[in-house]
């Protein structure tokens, strides 16, 4: 498919041919859901497990008489009521390390890119050069590009320093390199913005 390339000055930068095997895949809600669920579960952090009564290294010998002591009849020092005893109902280590086939993950990313292209929410820009890295200058340029309420901007291998500095104060713009492109971030932004370098890297990522 052919897409018109824009510039940050709202000008025309020619056309670019996008690979149909990447940007024209029919999206499937079940695949996108599986990949997004996998991403969100993958980034969850587990609690540090506490030592419970069976994990504490203390004597199990009965330390007092069963009767006549005037206190409760305890069997060992591992009980949670004692200092140094095990934690009662403490946090346990949980496994948040799900698996998902690489082919499914790759297919999900292709479908996310294709859904943006099919809905007209994909914008390709020539480059991200911003004079002096000024937020005011970038905000004025974005007004004529129609990026929507939120936009995910994906650059090539390295981020454009000027654009990164200028967009750091804009909550509606998120910037990442091509290697970080993922389904969750693409789908949760209204507009996807790719540079020419990003298109090349994404196509090389799937064809390599």
Residues 6+ apart with CB under 8 A from 117: 1, 3, 18, 23, 24
- Edge-first strand order for the sheet with 122-125 is 12-17, 2-6, 122-125, 191-195, 151-155, 173-177
Q: What is the pLDDT of residue 208?
A: 63
pTM beyond 0.85, yes or no: no
Q: What is the pLDDT of residue 153?
A: 94
Q: Over range 184-189, report the average pLDDT.
A: 96
pLDDT digits (tens, 9 = 90+) for 33-65: 999 999 999 888 888 899 999 899 988 788 788
Q: Where are the domains of the chain?
A: 2-44+100-207, 46-94
Statement: residue 11 has pLDDT above 80: no
Q: CA-to-CA distance for 184 and 118, rounded, in angstroms?
A: 18
Statement: residue 132 has pLDDT above 90: no
Q: What is the pLDDT of residue 138?
A: 87
Q: What is the pLDDT of residue 10?
A: 66
Top CATH class, 2-44+100-207: alpha beta
Residues 6+ apart with CB under 8 A from 90: 49, 50, 51, 52
């Amino acid at each position: 498919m052919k897409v018109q390339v824009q510039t940050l000055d709202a000008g025309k930068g020619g056309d670019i041919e996008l690979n149909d095997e990447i940007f024209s895949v029919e999206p499937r809600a079940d695949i996108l859901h599986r990949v997004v669920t996998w991403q969100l579960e993958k980034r969850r952090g587990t609690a540090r497990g506490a030592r419970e009564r069976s994990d504490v290294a203390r004597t199990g010998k009965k330390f007092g008489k069963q009767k006549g002591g005037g206190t409760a009849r305890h069997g060992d020092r591992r009980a949670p009521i004692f200092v140094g005893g095990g934690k009662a109902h403490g946090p346990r280590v949980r496994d948040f390390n799900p698996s998902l086939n690489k082919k499914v993950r790759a297919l999900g990313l292709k479908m996310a890119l294709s859904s943006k292209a099919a809905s007209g929410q994909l914008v390709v820009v020539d480059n991200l050069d911003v004079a002096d890295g000024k937020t005011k200058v970038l905000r004025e340029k974005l007004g004529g590009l129609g990026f929507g309420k939120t936009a995910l901007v994906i650059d090539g291998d390295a981020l454009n320093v000027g654009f990164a500095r200028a967009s750091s104060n804009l909550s509606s713009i998120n910037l990442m390199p091509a290697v970080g492109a993922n389904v969750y971030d693409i789908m949760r932004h209204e507009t996807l913005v790719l540079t020419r370098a990003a298109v090349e890297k994404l196509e090389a990522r799937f064809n390599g």
